[in-house]
Structure formats: structure tokens, C-alpha cells
Structure 1
Amino acid sequence: MSVHINVLSGLGDKGPAAVVVETQGKRLLLDAGGALHPGDPITWANDLDVDAVLISHDHIDHIGGVAQLPAELPLYCTPLVAKALPKNRQWRPLPERGTIEVEGITVTTGQAGHSLGGVWLHLAVAEGVFYSGDACFESRLFPFDTPPPAGIALLDASYGVYDQSQQGCIHAISEHLMQPLVFPVPATGRALEMALWLTEEAKAWGLTLAIDAVIRANLAALLALPDTLRRPGTEAAIASVLARPDDTNAALMLVSDRDDAPAQWPDHRLLHTGYLTPERCAQLAAGDVLWQRWNVHLRASHLMALADQLGASHVVPLFTHLTDQPLSEWRKRLGKRLCTTPHFSTDARSTTFSTLGSFACPQ
């Protein structure tokens, strides 16, 4: 059984996620990412010909291109992710953890450790195709489920070869807490675990705290899920956050990111914890905002551990720069398993790679 992979977008840079897997006469689109920067065109959807689309989670670079797809194209996602779809878009349910048949292909899902309702995807074709979407081992709230073996691993490498622990990130953020701060965050991702941490820090240090209503609603949605879809022992902490009233004129504010700019918060400093747009990079360079990562993607060592656990013979690092130095680092880590060409085909006996694209798979 042959499998053809076509990475339409998301290889060689931080960009919209869109990967086509073709096998058994069917073509499945994994994610339908939108532009990270307002106004950027979405070109991957041009002349697209697929039988169904599977969405891993609801962040814009994975779901924001759905509006570009034909309305009649079957679309699969979890019920919580469906809330982010364009109004009246029809969809079919993916299990939060389980197995489903899509166009005759067995698709297994599991918790990806990254966001509310988010899953990884495994296709039971040839030696297996695994797509992480965005994934993390370190979330306090979201579990990461062990996937089945897969010969092809399409992995979240958003952080490149970065490998600092979450505890180190939290320590660095805590050093800024004695000043008025606003944390703009994705409301279904790190916002939820940061809400727990900030509530504990505010109590310990006598600080005032306010949490966006959207983030509170998502915490309530997480608490309503079966307890197996949360890290063990987190129910009481979530309930404590939901029971805590917001402080008037709080020094610390956790808000759903709405492209917040320094001028909107004259009495606070913005502290970003994730991807920075070019505009925010300029603000950081000028000293107008603060930045310290809160881990929500696979660190380099975790990516390696996942590739090893899968038994992958072809590993594609997605959503990361692959210029000379990073590419050299990945070659050291992955050796012949590294694949950085956007088009390749495999079967049980052989592997062939097209000559298209900017990168070549090392032999």
C-alpha cells in the first residue's frame, strides 16, 4: 500500500498548517490553516482536490482556512473545536480519543496536550501516518496520549531545537509579576493552565487578578468533560479559579488575545508568552512589551522521544524554520529519518521523493 504526502503549507517556516495524505485512492487534508498575519493570502487552498478534511484544533493557523474550502467538503473535528468553525459550516464529529472511519481509512485520535478539544491524528495506512498538529508533553491540564506506531511522523517542531523546561519558563515569568501586567493569550490553549498558575501566584503574593470571561467559560467547558480528558487531580484547581471573583482594577490581567497593543493598556505592560507577529517583534525590540515563552509545543528532546516511540522512519519537522543552521541541527538529531521535502511517497518496500520544493530529504 503506497502513501503520498504533500505538505501544502507549514514546512520550512512558521505558517498555516495544511497537509494532504493520499492513499487507497483517497485524499485527506489534515488541517486548514489560516494566515498568522492579517492580510496575508492563503495560497495552499488554490486548486485543492481532496475527499475530506480533518482539523486537529481550533487555533487560527490550523482552522482559519476553512472558509476557503467548498461547503460540501466533509469536515471532521471534535465538538469543542467545531465552535470555532464559520457560522453554519457543517461538520462531522471526531472523537476526543478513539477511532473513526473516514473515506474508508481508519483514523485514530488522541489528546495532544495543547488545547481544549485538540487531538492528534493517526491514519492506519501502510506503516502508519501520524500527524501531531500542535502538541505538548508539559501541559498541567491537557494530557498527551501515546499514539500507535507510525512509519511517517508529521510533527510539531514550532520551537525548533529549543529545549528549556516549562518550569524554567514559569520561573522567568514569575520574576515580572510585581508590576502591573496583561497576558494576552489564545483562549483555548495556554490561557487555561496560566489561569490556574496566576490564581495560585496571586494568592501567594497578595496580588490582584482578573481573568477574561471567555477564558473562564473555556475552563468551565474543560471541567464539564469526562475526567479522563484532563490531567489527573486538576478538578479542584479549576473549580477554585471559577469560584474566585475578579478583582477590580487588577494588577494582573489574563485576557483572550485580540491583537492587544500597548496603547490599549496604558496602566499595564503587555507580557506575551507565544508567537510574536512582526509588529509585536518591533514592540519587543523597542522595549514596549515583554516576552517569555510558556511551553505549549514540543521541545526538541520531546520531539525526538515521540519520533522514537512511534518508530518513525520518516520524520517531518513542521512549523519551523529550516534554513542552514536549524537544518544542520535537525540532521544531527534525526539523521536519515529527517525528511524536509514537501512531496514524498512510501510503501512497505521502498521510499521515493520528488525533486519539487526547496528542501531535499537526506539519504
Structure 2
Amino acid sequence: MSVRIEVLSGLGDKAPAAILVEAEGRRLLLDAGGALHPGQSMAWSDGLDVDAVLISHDHIDHIGGVSALPAELPLYCTAEVAMSLPRGREWRALPARGQCRIRGIPVTTGQAGHSLGGIWMHLGVDGGVFYSGDACLESLLFPFDDPPPARVALLDASYGLYDTPQVQCRETIAQRLTEPRVLPVPVSGRALEMALWLDEQTEWLGVTWNLDDACRESLEALLTLPRSLRRGGHDAAIRRLLDASRADSPMLWLVEDRDDDPEDWPEHRLLHTGYLTPRRQRQRTAGEVDWQRWNVHLRLAHMRTMVNRLRAARATPLFTAEVRDVSESLKRPRSLALSEEGSDAVG
């Protein structure tokens, strides 16, 4: 039984995620990503012919292209992710952690450690095809479930060769919290664990902070999930965080990322902690904003860990311009074959 994998978008750049897997006479689309910034290509959706689409999580570069798909195309995602679908879009449930069959193909899902409702996917065909979506092994709140073995691994390599541990990132960010700051964040991912961490840091530093309504609502949604879908030991701290009274004009703001510009916050300085669009890269170069990564993707050591856990014979790094270098870094002594092409026929 052959499997054909085509990376329609997301190979060789940080770009919308769209991966086509063809097996057993069926064509499944893994993610339907939207543009991360104006002018980024969405050509992957042109002339698309698939039987179903499976969405890993609700960030724009993985779900933002759903509006370009036919309304009648069957779409599968978790209940949390469905909240971000276009209004009225019909969907079918993917388990947050479990097994199902989609168009006759066995699908296993597990928690990806990246966002609220976010999952990885494993297709039970030809030795297994694993797709991480966006994934992280270092989250304070989101668990990562070990996947079953897979001959083919399609891995989140958004950070390329970067390999700085999360603890060092937090230490560096903490040093920048002594002046008025605004931290724009994706509310279903980084916002949640950063809120918990900020609450501890600001108490120790003796500075005021607040979070906007979108971040607050996302934290409340986290507490409604089954306990098995969040790391233990934090519920009481989250409830205290939500119940505490806060200053209307704090020194630090944690806010939903709405493409904020420096002029939107004249009394504060923007500190970005994730992907920078070309416009934000220019702002950083001009000294108008600051940046320090807070890990929410697989770093290099963890990509190696994933390849070993999966016992993968073929691995493709996604969402990075450093495909060749990452591929070389992931090689194991036992002849790990690495795909660097957009179309991969696995026989």
C-alpha cells in the first residue's frame, strides 16, 4: 500500500500549513493555513481536490485558509478549535486524545503541547505517517502525548537550528519586565502559560500587571477542559490570577495580538515573544520594538527526540527556511532518510 505526501505549503519557509496525504484511494488535507502577513501566497488552495480536511489547531497559519475551501468539504477538528472556524462552518469532531477513522483511514490524535485544543495526528497507513502540526515539549500548561511509531514524520521545525531551553528564555524575558511593557500573544497558546508565569514574576518584582478580556476568557476556557488536557498543579493559581483585582493602568499588559504597533501603546514598549512578520522585523531593526522568544515550538534537540521516539525512517522539517541544515542535524547513524522535496512518494 503506497502513500503519497505532498507539502502544498509550509516547506522551505514559515508559511501557511497545508499537507496532502493520499492513501487507500483517499486524499486528506492536514491543516488549511492562512497567510501570516499581507502578500504571503495562498496558492495551495487553488484547484484543491480532497476528501476531507483535518485541522491541528486554531492559529491562523493552520486554520486561516478554511474560508477558501468549499463549505461542503468535510472538516474535522477538536471542539476547542471549532470555536475559531468561520461562523456557521460545519465540522466533525476529532478526539483530543484517541482514535477514529476518517474516510476509512485510521487516525490517532494526541495533545501537542502548543495550544488550547491543539493536537498532533498519526495516520495508520504504510507504517504510519505522523504530523506534529505545531508542537512543544516545554509547555508549563499543555501536555504532550507520546505518539505511536511512524515511518514518516512531518515535523514542526519553525525554529530551525535554534536550541535554547525554555528556562533561559524566561530568565531573559524577566530581565525586561522592569519598564512599561505590552506583550501581544496568541490567546489560545502562549498567552495562557505566560499569564501564569507573569503572575509569579510580577509579585516577586513588585510591579503591576493586567491581562485583557481575550486572554482572561481563554484562561477560563482552559479551566473547563478535562483535567487530563492540562498539566496538573496549576488550577488554584489560575483561579487566584483570575479573581485578583488589578490596576487599570498597569506597568505590564498581556494582550491578544491584534497586529499592534508602537503608536497603539504610547506609554509602553512592545515586547514580542514569537513569530515576527516582515513589518515587525523592520520595527525591531529600527529599534522600535523588542523581541525575545518564548518557546512554543520544537527546538532542535526535541526534533531529534521526536525522530527517535517515532523510529522514523523519513523525516521532513516543516515551516522553516533551514530545511537542509535541520535535515542534516536530525540524521541518525542508522541511515535516517530525510525528504527535502515538496512531493514525497513513499512506496
Tell me, yes or no, whether TM beats 0.5. yes
| Mapped partners of 1:153, 1:187: distance in 2 | 28
| Mapped partners of 2:300, 2:47: distance in 1 | 35
Displacement of 1:329 = 4.9
TM-score (norm. length: structure 1): 0.93
| Mapped partners of 1:63, 1:167: distance in 2 | 30
Check whether the contact 2:317–2:326 (CA below 8 A) recurs between aligned residues: no
Other-structure match for 1:118: 118
Structure 2: segments with no counterpart, 5+ residues: none
Deviation string for 1:262-284 (max 9, x for gaps)?
Answer: 00101000000000011111111
Other-structure match for 2:272: 272
| Mapped partners of 1:319, 1:39: distance in 2 | 17
Displacement of 1:332 = 4.0
Instruction: Give the one of 313, 319, 328 matched to 1:331.
Output: 328
> Which piece of structure 1 moves more, 289-298 or 336-345?
336-345
- 2:204 alignment partner, SS class: helix
Other-structure match for 1:98: 98
Identical-residue share of aligned pairs (%)? 58
| Mapped partners of 1:315, 1:215: distance in 2 | 35
- 2:183 alignment partner, SS class: strand
Other-structure match for 1:303: 303
Other-structure match for 2:179: 179
In structure 2, the CA distance between the partners of 1:207 and 1:28, relative to structure 1 (3 Å rule), is same
Amino acid at match of 2:66: V
Other-structure match for 2:164: 164
Amino acid at match of 1:270: L
Other-structure match for 1:76: 76
Other-structure match for 2:147: 147
Aligned residues: 344
Amino acid at match of 1:50: V
Amino acid at match of 2:331: L
Amino acid at match of 1:282: R
| Mapped partners of 2:51, 2:184: distance in 1 | 37
| Mapped partners of 1:41, 1:219: distance in 2 | 33
Question: Which runs of at least 4 in structure 1 moved beyond 3 Å after TM superposition?
Answer: none
- 2:71 alignment partner, SS class: coil
Amino acid at match of 2:279: E
| Mapped partners of 1:7, 1:119: distance in 2 | 19
Following superposition of structure 1 onto structure 2, how do residues 1-363 of structure 1 map, counting pairs within 5 Å? Answer: 1-322=1-322, 327-334=324-331, 336-347=336-347
| Mapped partners of 2:194, 2:38: distance in 1 | 26
Amino acid at match of 1:22: E
| Mapped partners of 1:196, 1:337: distance in 2 | 41
- 1:187 alignment partner, SS class: coil
